[in-house]
Amino acid sequence: MATRAEIETWLAQVTLGDRAAFASLYDATSAKLYAVTLRILNDRDAAEDALQEVYVKIWHKAGQYSVNGLSPMTWLIAVARNHAIDRLRARKAAGSRPLDEADAVADAGPGPEALAVASGERAALAACLGELEADKAQMVRRCYLDGWTYRDLAETADVPLNTVRTWLRRSLMKLRECLSR
């Protein structure tokens, strides 16, 4: 795993048009970003295509990574995730694929073993998600990991959209309160 300093250096070099640095960045981060696009798009061809577009964006926008104060890896993940979500929503708008219910219930989140080996930040988040009701925690995970919208959540839970919005916003408040402890 590349260090934060290495990724920062590569991004700075990419800003200057350094293709060798871009290759190094790709080698160090593509398996992680592919995991992100694959999870959201749930289709290998679509995920690979999205991954290509993500790295094209990274090449052109490397200089902007520090604008919002994100760590370099978080920025890369955000670029990949946002792009995959755009593609997912375009696909849904085109009506080509409905939400996959079987897939939606397959993932129960990290087991106890995964939690035991978790890094500090991940452990804190997992612990605080664990303080939420299970279905509310799952909503947060669905939104982040699968790119679900309020509409998706409402349809799956079979409640009005405003109800899930209220649920989720309350859950986020609890989450923040827990994480700040």
Partner 1 sequence: MTGTDDTDDDGILAAEYALGLLDRPEAEAFEARMAAEPALRALYAEWEERFAALTDELPEVAPPGSTYDDIEDRLFPLQKRRAGGMGWLRGLVGAGVLVAALAVAVLFFAPGEPAVVADFRADLTHPAFDTIGVGATDDGVFHLILFDYVEPPEGSDYELWLVAGDEPPVSLGLVPRGETGDYWTELPPEITAAFAGGAVAVSVEPAGGSPTGAPSDQILDAVGFTDLR
Q: Which residues bind to partner 1, rule: CB under 8 A? A: 19-20, 23-24, 26-27, 30-32, 34-36, 38-39, 48, 51-52, 55-56, 59, 68-71, 73-74, 77-78, 81-82, 85, 109-110, 114, 118-119, 121-122, 124-125, 140-141, 143-145, 147, 149-150, 168-169, 172-173, 175-176, 179
Q: CB-wise, 133 or 144, nearer to partner 1?
A: 144
Query: How far apart are the C-alpha atoms of 162 and 159, rounded to whole Å?
Result: 8
**Pick 97 or 144: Cβ nearer partner 1:** 144
Nearer residue to partner 1 within complex by CB, 56 or 105: 56
Q: Whole-number minimum distance, CB 173 to partner 1, in Å? A: 6
CA–CA distances in Å: residue 131 to residues 68, 127, 138: 29, 7, 12
Q: In angstroms, what is the minimal distance from the CB of 55 to partner 1? A: 5
Q: Quick one: 96 or 180, whose CB is closer to partner 1?
A: 180
What's the min distance (Å) between Cβ of 180 and partner 1?
Answer: 10
Is the CB of 23 or the CB of 97 nearer to partner 1? 23
C-beta of 58: minimal distance to partner 1 in Å? 9
